[in-house]
Amino acid sequence: MIKRVSHIGIAVKDLDKGIEFYQKLGLELEGTEEVPSQKVKVAFFPCGDTRIELLAPTSEDSPVAKFIEKKGEGIQHIAFAVDDLPKALEKAEESGVTLIDKEPRPGAHNADIAFLHPRSTLGVLIELCKENKH
């Protein structure tokens, strides 16, 4: 049901600095986008068949701002691509995983996304992601 790693989400304080760093590292910037539902601005770097996704908070009450406050900058979530998001959520819940999102919501890149709670996933914030064409 899980097809591959869709992207790895990395929290940064300053998106421009983050972009500069990953460009220096040799990745190519695909684009940036604001995601109002998560109060973040994101930058995508394709890397093989996955992406690095930089997330910078656009507001102090953004979940990413809270993450940075608690843990500092760094890897914030791992997103797995699935074919059928509602079904994947149902299956996760059946197996005892706590869902942050019971229903899919709009994410960056025209995708439908839902998060699983880290307290039920051995400490990793996991995103399930149904990628859609633009």
Binding mask 4-23 for Zn ion (x = CB under 5 A): -----x--------------
Minimum CB distance to Zn ion, residue 28 (Å): 19
Minimum CB distance to Zn ion, residue 114 (Å): 10
Binding mask 54-83 for Zn ion (x = CB under 5 A): -------------------------x----
Among 76, 85, 126, 127, binds Zn ion (CB under 5 A): 127
Q: Tell me the pairing of strands 126-130 and 74-82.
A: parallel
Burial of 113 (0-12, 13-18, 19+ CB in 10 A): buried
Cα within 13 Å of Cα(26), Cβ side? 2
| Distance from C-alpha of 44 to C-alpha of 30, rounded to nearest angstrom | 5
Residues that bind Zn ion (CB under 5 A): 9, 79, 127
